Chains A and B, each alone.
Chain A
């Protein structure tokens, strides 16, 4: 988080639950480890999966925990514990990815989302049709639709998939995502916009045609 430099000798505010967890982790007790892993593991797994996919995500999360606990003394409280752990997970997952392949997907050559849906004068050529599901919960319960969403999520360029996962699923602030991924804030906004629009387009198509 940005802000005024902390004067020497003062402590940044760490929320009580984070503080208790950090002490417990420093203690080295299996119970503390277990609780921490259960609490933060799902978010870390979600992010790791967005980078390395299903096959390697568990190992990436394990790498991240080992690194985090080893480095616990260096946690300065400049971000939440969750953000810090996610940051470590991103690094470890990317290390695994580098070991397997080089190169990144780029979102080039694809038509912009909703291309062709508008007339030259800017009005809808094909306005949005009514969806079968009207609420988030109803959408979530439509299994076939979510299988389709997951598939399309997997096809997004990594940066877009990661930013969407971190913002919309894990609730991180855009600034925290920017610093975790070493992206500029405008870049995070663009990635988020593209990912969301791509998935909107996909869901809209599915609702209209039943096709994934």
Chain B
């Protein structure tokens, strides 16, 4: 039987589906029975969701052009 303390320790493995079948079942059983840990997992998934949505900003055009210029120079040298 898992305790609340075991949930954060396994949270990352759980969302990655890296837990074995038995451990996964025990994890889910604990969540069914414990509202505190359900809240923890909801918050964990919300945070991961935010990371996933955080799109890296587009490169500044000046930066893009610097790179293109350097690549063209390299191509000319070859």
Given contacts A118-B5, A200-B44, whether A66 and B71 have CB atoms under 8 Å apart is yes
Partner of A33, one of B3, B16, B59, B72: B72
Q: List the one stretch of A10-18, A38-46, A89-97, A98-106 in contact with chain B.
A: A38-46
Contacts of B56 in A (CB 8 A): 42-43, 45-46, 169
- Smallest Cβ distance from A81 to chain B, in angstroms? 16
Interface code B55-73, partner A: CB below 8 Å = 1, 0 otherwise?
1111100011111101110
**Residues A147-175 near B (CB distance < 8 A):** 164, 168-169, 171, 174
- Smallest Cβ distance from B42 to chain A, in angstroms? 8
The answer to whether A196 and B48 have CB atoms under 8 Å apart is: yes
- Smallest Cβ distance from B54 to chain A, in angstroms? 6
- Smallest Cβ distance from A18 to chain B, in angstroms? 18
The answer to whether B53 and A136 have CB atoms under 8 Å apart is: yes
- How distant is the Cα of A211 from the Cα of B31 in the complex, in angstroms? 29
- How distant is the Cα of A118 from the Cα of B1 in the complex, in angstroms? 16
Contacts of B51 in A (CB 8 A): 164, 168-169
The answer to whether B67 and A62 have CB atoms under 8 Å apart is: yes
Which of B6, B47, B48, B66 neighbours the largest number of chain A CB atoms within 10 Å of its CB?
A: B47
The answer to whether A37 and B64 have CB atoms under 8 Å apart is: yes
- Smallest Cβ distance from B31 to chain A, in angstroms? 13
Contacts of A200 in B (CB 8 A): 8, 43-44, 47
- Smallest Cβ distance from B48 to chain A, in angstroms? 6
Interface code A107-134, partner B: CB below 8 Å = 1, 0 otherwise?
0000001100010011110011011011
A-B contact pairs, 7 of them (CB 8 A): A37-B67, A42-B57, A123-B4, A128-B43, A131-B46, A140-B53, A193-B11
| Additional pairs, 6, CB under 8 Å, beyond known A123-B5, A133-B46 | A34-B64, A118-B5, A139-B50, A189-B13, A197-B11, A203-B47
Taking Cβ atoms with an 8 Å cutoff, the residues of B that contact A are 3-6, 8-9, 11-13, 16, 18, 36, 39-40, 43-44, 46-59, 63-68, 70-72, 74-75
Taking Cβ atoms with an 8 Å cutoff, the residues of A that contact B are 28, 30, 33-34, 37-38, 41-43, 45-46, 58, 61-62, 65-66, 69-70, 113-114, 118, 121-124, 127-128, 130-131, 133-137, 139-140, 164, 168-169, 171, 174, 189, 192-193, 196-197, 199-200, 203-204
